[in-house]
Amino acid sequence: MKNIVVLGGGISGYGSAILAKKKGFGVFLSDSGRIADRYRARLEEWQVPYEEGGHTLERILAAAEVIKSPGIPETAPVVRAVREAGIPIISEIEFAGRYLDGARTICITGSNGKTTTTSLVYKILRDAGYNAALGGNIGESFAYSVATGRYDWYVLELSSFQLDGMYRFRADIAILTNITPDHLDRYGHCFQNYVDAKMRIVRNQHSRCAFIYSADDPVIAAELPKYDLRMRELPFAAKQAVASGAGDAFLCDGRFTAAVGCASVEVDTAKMRIGGLHNAYNAMAAALAALAAGVRPVQVRKSLYAFAPVEHRLEPVGEYGGVEWINDSKATNVDSVWYALESMKRPLVWIAGGTDKGNDYGPLKEFAREKVHTLVCMGFDNEKLLGEFTGVVPRIVSASSFGEAMEAARRAARPGDTVLLSPACASFDLFENYEQRGRMFRQWVKDRAADGAGAEPDAVRTVPERDRVRENDIGDGADAARRLPGDCTDAEMSVKNDA
């Protein structure tokens, strides 16, 4: 019997272990920290042996193959030991992809926009009656869905970390939203290494596959000539018209037409519930994917118009005293924040900061100078932000705690303003993850709105729960939850899901 070891007991790890068990492998899961109770319960239900609180190298090095959770970096001692022993290391995506039994995949990656695009694609397919599962970086574990269900389509959000361990896996429909600097600390501070990881999304595609990408992205444009692209290319753009024999999408004057083969759909972005240029890009990509998957154009348009904002991504959470509060906690890099600032129409109090990932804040300065009157720097070490934006915005406040930052923002905001939480940084200095940061922001606003703090009673408004799409509720049922605090441990926690 072939022995498989799974490193990491989070959502990726327990799903891989259960799939390996179901397929008849000898399996052992190892996590150097504590495994979350609900994941431990599933491992025990499936009688998967595991350890937590440390790695037993002798047992790990007896494996024929190791499945590594995406949050564990190559520099982790246990990974180095496995590499030195010559044992193959793969990802959950690579492993689960071996057992699709004819099901097809739509895989989405990119530096920004991948969560919204993934959610859009999934909604369109489900609304059209497709038997589809959501997985990867959101929703349920891909491997667990393969082990316990039978689906015709898998819609997968893939981070660069998940793509790193992909070798033979093939995306039937691949979407690359954009490529901008991110996670350079994970890639040896070499942007090209990160670019190469993202471009793995086209690996193994053939003529019956489709590759959807932004023709406006200069990095993607520079990379394409390096690859032997045999699939159908479906570009989308807003800056200049694109033309592809297989299909394309182009945004002009707030409308876009997406076409794949003989099928086409026209969409008025003003009728969508998600705004901004970045969401127009996301919608074009999703529309092309849905058409490539055979969804009727009328259904594509209907679903795009009905889609509600994704939790933690430009999510309006409430208003009091004439001040709008927007949760963009998922914006953990400069490019995400650029799109957020670009889409803002009212004077801004901008809350930023956290664990810097080697950011270059230069691209944000024009919008900051034009739109931001107060910058609240939230984190243990705000020196870089203070240095970058002194002289750019009229007022800067340094806050070392969440509560201090929120009170500073409240005091600075005036009726007609927007308070935007869009950090440009990871969350690990003050929070467990960006989800916790966003939830705390939302709850703080909800509590103040309920109290009527600083507002007349008729000025108090919060966004109803039903009008928000939660990333952990996109799948079917409570078990489709996104990973929670405790999913990743030791080395994993340093890079967990601010991807």
Give the span between the Cα atoms of 241 and 496, in whole angstroms.
38
Element (H, E) at 196: helix 191-199
Is 312 part of the annotated catalytic residue set?
no
Tell me, what amino acid is at 159?
S
Tell me, what amino acid is at 165?
G
Residues 6+ apart with CB under 8 A from 131: 150, 151, 152, 153
Give the span between the Cα atoms of 489 and 475, in whole angstroms.
25
Angle at 126 between CA 121 and CA 130, to 5 degrees: 105
Give the span between the Cα atoms of 323 and 451, in whole angstroms.
15
Give the span between the Cα atoms of 461 and 385, in whole angstroms.
32
Burial class (CB in 10 A: 0-12, 13-18, 19+), 193: middle
Element (H, E) at 331: none
Catalytic residue among 55, 68, 123, 183: 183
Chain-centroid distance of CA 468 in Å reads 17
**Residue 499: closest CA among 263, 369, 336:** 336
Give the span between the Cα atoms of 18 and 24, in whole angstroms.
10
Chain-centroid distance of CA 240 in Å reads 27
Residue 469, sorted as left (phi over 0), alpha (psi -120 to 50) or beta, turns out to be: beta
Rg (CA), the chain: 22
Give the span between the Cα atoms of 395 and 116, in whole angstroms.
33
Cα torsion 167, 172, 178, 179 to 10°: value is 10
Q: Note whether 15 and 142 are within 8 A (CB).
A: yes
Catalytic residue among 137, 382, 433, 497: 137
Give the span between the Cα atoms of 52 and 70, in whole angstroms.
18
Q: Note whether 291 and 259 are within 8 A (CB).
A: yes
Q: Note whether 417 and 343 are within 8 A (CB).
A: no
Give me the residue label for tokens 């327990």. Answer: 14
Catalytic residue among 55, 68, 114, 371: 114
Is 472 part of the annotated catalytic residue set?
no
Q: What tokens appear for 428 in the block? A: 């690990």
Give the span between the Cα atoms of 35 and 14, in whole angstroms.
10
Is 3 part of the annotated catalytic residue set?
no
Catalytic site residues? 114, 137, 183
